[in-house]
Amino acid sequence: MKTIGFKWVALCIVSVCATFVSAQSDLTVKVKNIRSAKGKVMIAADKGQYAMVDATGDTATLVLKEMPEGKCKLYVYHDENGNYQLDREDGVPAENCAIVDLDMTAEAKTIDVELKDVRALQDKAKK
């Protein structure tokens, strides 16, 4: 009788653990429109993954490891002065950046992200 009870508990634990496991895959992000070859290009996902590389030209490639399937946000910016934060002037990003809404699937292996100069876009909208 004890053996049957133990097996039942073990089966329940395995079933619960399997429910929390989701498919994961690596995501390659090609970042475009990097303003200069200074500082770093940084990316973070709202699921906890992050990466950074040195800015060496107008494009960079970063890989986010073990991205879970489902909806997520990616935050990308060019940390031109190397202070590891997105600088702002009057609350508006002073460094090129982008926010991407992504529905991560097993087929999504590579995406392109173009950084934007938010200050220039805001000034243009005012005119």
Please give the model's pTM, rounded to 2 decimal places. Answer: 0.78
Q: What is the pLDDT of residue 1?
A: 45
25-126: which CATH architecture?
A: Sandwich (2.60)
Per the CB < 8 A criterion, the answer to whether 114 and 74 are in contact is: no
Q: What is the pLDDT of residue 31?
A: 98
CB neighbours of 67 closer than 8 A, spacing ≥ 6?
24, 25, 26, 27, 45, 47, 49, 104
Per the CB < 8 A criterion, the answer to whether 36 and 80 are in contact is: yes
Q: What is the pLDDT of residue 82?
A: 93
Task: Give the largest CA-CA distance in the chain.
Answer: 80
DSSP string, 39-103: SEEEEEETTS-EEEEE--SSEEEEEEEEEESEEEEEEEEEETTSSSS--EETTEESS-EEEEEEE
Q: What is the pLDDT of residue 17?
A: 45
Instruction: List per-block mean pLDDT (blocks of 10 residues) for the chain, which spans 127 residues.
Output: 50 46 83 96 96 96 94 96 94 95 86 94 79
Q: What is the pLDDT of residue 13?
A: 56
Q: What is the pLDDT of residue 12?
A: 47
